[in-house]
């Protein structure tokens, strides 16, 4: 294990000293290092995939703890982690269709005719009770203390529903 870590450190040191990967391979070939290993380690090092990896490297370089680096990011720089959201990807054709449909809708209902449009909301409510095995608990001393109707949740394949 330490041999692998030493190899990784050696390859990254050569890379930091601006040696090309082919030259690094020539230097370490006699130690049994494969060309793919050199390129893989350099790729992983270059693409420090996340900010936490960069923080870890910075902490090692400055000889301080990671919590100090985290504190500096948070308090001194005012940075905070934000969870990335998701969004839909639209193709060029979808964008063109959207513009075309919006223009047609505007022509059809532009001016004062939009006041004659009635929007309705409909919602389907299921009659079946919600059940989550992890959260639904009943605290009793004996099972016989629970009424029979509340011992289990009933499930159906075709749910009864009401539209309102």
Q: Residue 96 has what pLDDT?
A: 94
Contact 131, 153 (CB under 8 A): yes
Q: Residue 18 has what pLDDT?
A: 85
State the average pLDDT for the chain. 77
Q: Residue 17 has what pLDDT?
A: 86
Q: Which of 44-48, 73-77, 141-145, 156-160 tops mean pLDDT?
A: 73-77
Structure tokens, 154: 């009933």
Structure tokens, 137: 């608990």
User: For the ranges 21-25, 36-40, 129-133, which has the lowest average pLDDT?
Assistant: 129-133
Its pTM stands at: 0.32
CA atoms within a 13 Å half-sphere pointing along the CA-CB vector of 92: 0
- The contacts of residue 31 (CB under 8 Å, 6+ apart) are 7
pLDDT in tens, 102-151: 888 888 887 777 777 776 777 777 777 666 666 666 666 777 777 777 77
Beta strands per DSSP E along the chain = 124-126, 161-163
Q: Residue 111 has what pLDDT?
A: 76
Let me know if 38 is exposed, middle or buried by CB neighbors in 10 A (0-12, 13-18, 19+). buried
Q: Residue 97 has what pLDDT?
A: 93
């Amino acid at each position: 294990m330490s041999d692998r870590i030493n190899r990784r450190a050696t390859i990254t040191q050569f890379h930091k000293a601006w040696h090309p990967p082919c030259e690094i391979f020539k230097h370490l070939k006699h130690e049994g290092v494969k060309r793919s290993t050199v390129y893989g380690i350099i790729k992983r090092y270059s693409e420090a995939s996340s900010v936490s990896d960069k923080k870890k490297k910075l902490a090692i370089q400055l000889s301080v703890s990671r919590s100090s680096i985290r504190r500096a990011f948070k308090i001194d720089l005012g940075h905070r982690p934000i969870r990335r959201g998701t969004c839909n990807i639209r193709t060029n054709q979808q964008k063109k269709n959207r513009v075309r449909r919006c223009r047609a809708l505007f022509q059809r209902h532009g001016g004062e005719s939009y006041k004659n449009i009635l929007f309705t909301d409909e919602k389907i409510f299921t009659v079946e009770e919600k059940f989550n095995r992890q959260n639904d608990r009943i605290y009793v001393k004996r099972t016989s203390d629970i009424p029979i109707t509340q011992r289990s949740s009933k499930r159906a394949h075709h749910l009864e529903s009401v539209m309102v």
